Amino acid sequence: MLPILEIKELKKHYPVKTGLFGRVTGVAKSLDGVSFSVKKGETFAVVGESGSGKTTLGKTVLRLIEPTSGSILFDGTDITELGTEPMRKLKTDMQMVFQDPFGSLDPKWTVRRILEEPLRTHYKLPQEELLKKVNDILEVVGLTAKHASRYPHELSGGQRQRVGIARALILEPKFIVFDEPVSALDVSIQAQVLTLLEDLQSRLSLTYLFISHDLSVVRYISDQVGVMYLGKMMEIGPSEELFTNPLHPYTKALISAIPEPDMDKRRERIVLSGEVPSPRKPPSGCVFHTRCPHAMPECGSVQPEWLEVSANRYTACHLYHK
C-alpha cells in the first residue's frame, strides 16, 4: 500500500538573533532531517520530551509553519511546491486538532459559527445545508444540536475537544494531525475521546498523525510510532513491537518510565542524566550522546546513519552498526 503521507529530510531551522540590531548568529534546529511515511488508515504517533520538535513537525506537515527544506508528499503531491490557492484547496483534506480545546475556539462565537466557518471559507452553501452539516457533525462526535447555540465557556473540557474534532471533520478530510489532543482532559474523559477517535477512523477511513508525550495513550491508539529527540527521529517501528522491544537507548529510557501495575512486567527504570540540550547548540555526532548510558567515542563525532535493524524496525544508533 502506498503511503498517504511521505516526509523526506524535513528541516525547520529558525535564525538565532542577538544584540541590539538582531544580528543572526546561528540557527535553532527544531526539525533536522526528519523522514517517515504514513499509510492510509493508520495512526502514526510521534513521541518525545518537551523540545523534541514534535509539535513543530505536526504544524510543518500541514504548512502552518513553512519548512526550511525537505519534501512533504501528500497523496503523491509535494505540497511544499504548491502555491497559495492549490494549498488552500488541499486544506480540506488535511486538518488539525489542537492541544488546548478552549484556547483553539473563539470565545465570542457559538459552536454553530465555529463549525460553519470552515464551510463558509471553502464552499458556498445555502444556510439550510450549513445548518444540516453542523447538526450532523455534532451527532457524529457525540454531541447534540442543542450544543450548537452554546459558547465554548458553557461546555466542559471534553465537549470543547469534541467541538474541535467536529471542526476538523466538517470538511471531510482524509488526514488529521492531533497535537496532544487529550493531555488537558481528565483520565476518564481521555478514554472517551480516544474511543471516539478510533471509531471515527474506522467509520470514515481517516489517517492520523498523533502527537503526544503520554506513552500509555500512544500505545493504546497507535499503529506505528516515531520517537523524536532534539529535532531528529531516533527510532520508528510498529507500536507493539517498539513498546515490547525498544531499540534505541532513548526509547528504552522513555518506556522504562511508564507506570506498570504488574510487578512481573516492570522494567528497570533508566534515569537519563542532564537536561535536553538547546536546539540552538545541539551536540555534535549523535544528538543524544550527552545523555546516553551507552555512549561510545564515535557517538560524539559521527552522526549515526538510519538503519533498518529488522523488518519495519528503524533506528539511528551506533550500537547497531557494530
Torsion angles phi and psi, residue 134, rounded to 5:
-65, -50
For residue 89, what is its C-alpha cell? 484547496
Please state, for a pLDDT cut of 90, what percent of the chain lies above it: 81
Q: Is 233 helix (H, G, I), strand (E, B) or coil?
A: strand
Express each pLDDT in 240-290 by its tens digit: 999 999 999 999 999 998 877 665 666 778 888 888 898 889 999 999 999
Express each pLDDT in 279-294 by its tens digit: 889 999 999 999 999 9
Q: What is the 3-state secondary structure (H, E, C) of 30-60?
A: EEEEEEEEEECCCEEEEECCCCCCHHHHHHH
Q: Is 36 helix (H, G, I), strand (E, B) or coil?
A: strand
Express each pLDDT in 19-67 by its tens digit: 878 888 889 999 999 999 999 999 999 999 988 999 999 999 999 999 9
Q: For the chain, list the domains and their CATH numbers.
A: 3-93+173-320 (3.40.50.300)
Whether 116 and 134 have beta carbons less than 8 Å apart is answered as yes
